[in-house]
Amino acid sequence: MLLGEEEVRSLLQMEELIPVMASALRDLSAGKVQQPMRVVMPVGEHQGFFGVMPAWGGALGAKLVTFYPNNQGVPTHHAMIVLFRPETGEPLVTMDGRLITEMRTAAVSAVATDVLARRDTSILAIIGSGVQAGSHLEALRIVRKFREVRVWSPRNAIEFARRHDVSAAASPEEAVRGADVIVVATAATTPVLRGEWLSPGVHINAVGATRPNWRELDDEVLRRARIYVESREAAMKESGDIIAAGEVFAEIGEVVAGTKNGREGAEEITLFKSVGVAVEDVAAADLVWRTKLRVGS
């Protein structure tokens, strides 16, 4: 059976996805998930990447994903996710994974924001104006209230601001000065967020620069922040920012489980650096499949 993107969209709700991601990350950090490192193969002359991401943690499956950061007019990410029956290994369903990738990334950031950001947030800043910017806006509004949202990107900030009824900033510095929560969701390979712009108590979700030689955060951000990730192993291998930082305080799953501390003070700066891991995709696809079986669509 094949589920296309529009059917996946009809079956997947952000409010349901966020707690599923929290459970998946808790199980990952508790050692209840088998998840080898993602295999990424460059597609040389086309400046793309092809990845294979298997996981087994209650649900069994794998995502095949392409990332073409220079795409214009079509998404930078495309994916298919296949689920198998754990008891017999029989294929259950294949579904489009582009939307799942978009939504689970934001849902995971929402989990991190819920356990790390201050409760009295009022200003959200988003660097980037692509699909992740929109998905993060939806997800973070579920876990926190914001009276002001600012967005900056080099090309489409004004259109994004008009579409989502938020404010366009003239520069990344203008966007993030005074913000309580920051999302960095760009295709940048060099830093776009600088530590000198950060206010005490800010929480940052950084979801781009998922190659070991790419950065989206400068050294001052890494120096000032307490750093959290999905998987130490994955972040230390795949994230140029985490490699530069050289250390991680905790995995988000450990904070969800209560085995590691989240925010410890109102002025502490917290950073969640996401690279995306397979258990998120498989758990999200399993949610879609279980919802389809329940509603009988």
Q: For a pLDDT cut of 70, what percent of the chain falls above it? A: 100
Task: Kindly state whether residues 131 and 62 are assigned to the same domain.
Answer: no
Domain ranges, residue 204: 113-273
Structural domain count, the chain: 2
119 and 43 in a single domain? The answer is: no
Question: Is 249 inside a domain boundary?
Answer: yes
pLDDT digits over 141-200, tens only?
999 999 999 999 998 999 999 999 999 999 999 999 999 999 999 988 899 999 999 999
Determine which helix (DSSP H) or strand (DSSP E) holds 223, and give its type and residue range.
Answer: helix 219-224
Average pLDDT value over all residues in the chain: 95
- Any idea what the CATH number is for the domain that residue 230 is in? 3.40.50.720
Average of pLDDT values for 60-66? 96
Angle between the N-to-C axes of helices 157-164 and 131-143, in degrees from 0 to 180, rounded to the nearest 10: 40
Same domain, 148 and 178: yes
In this model, does residue 81 exceed pLDDT 80? yes
User: Do 124 and 41 belong together in one domain?
Assistant: no
Residue 150 has what pLDDT? 98
Please report the pLDDT score of residue 250 as a whole number. Answer: 98
CATH label of the domain that carries residue 91: 3.30.1780.10
> Which of 6-10, 39-43, 65-69 is most confident?
6-10
The H or E element that residue 91 is part of is: strand 91-96
**Does residue 76 surpass a pLDDT of 80?**
yes
What does the pLDDT average to over 285-292?
97
User: What's the predicted TM-score (pTM) here?
Assistant: 0.94
131-150 burial, b for 16+ CB within 10 Å, e for fewer? bbbbbbbebbeebbebeebb
Are 16 and 77 found together in one domain? yes
For residues 24 and 67, membership in a common domain is answered with yes
| Residue 108 included in any domain | no
Average pLDDT over residues 207-217: 90
pLDDT at residue 297 in the model: 58
Evaluate if residue 219 carries a pLDDT over 90. yes
- pLDDT top residue among 46 and 141: 141
168 and 24 co-located in one domain: no
**Which uninterrupted H or E stretch holds 222?**
helix 219-224
Task: Confirm whether 107 is domain-assigned.
Answer: no
Q: Given a cut of 90, is residue 69 above it in pLDDT?
A: no
Q: Is the pLDDT of residue 115 over 90?
A: yes
Indicate whether 282 and 262 sit together in one domain.
no
Residues 155 and 34 in one domain: no
Q: What is the pLDDT of residues 88-108, one digit of tens each?
A: 999 999 999 999 999 999 999
What pLDDT band is residue 1 in, cutting at 50, 70 and 90? confident
Do the Cβ atoms of 121 and 149 come closer than 8 Å? no
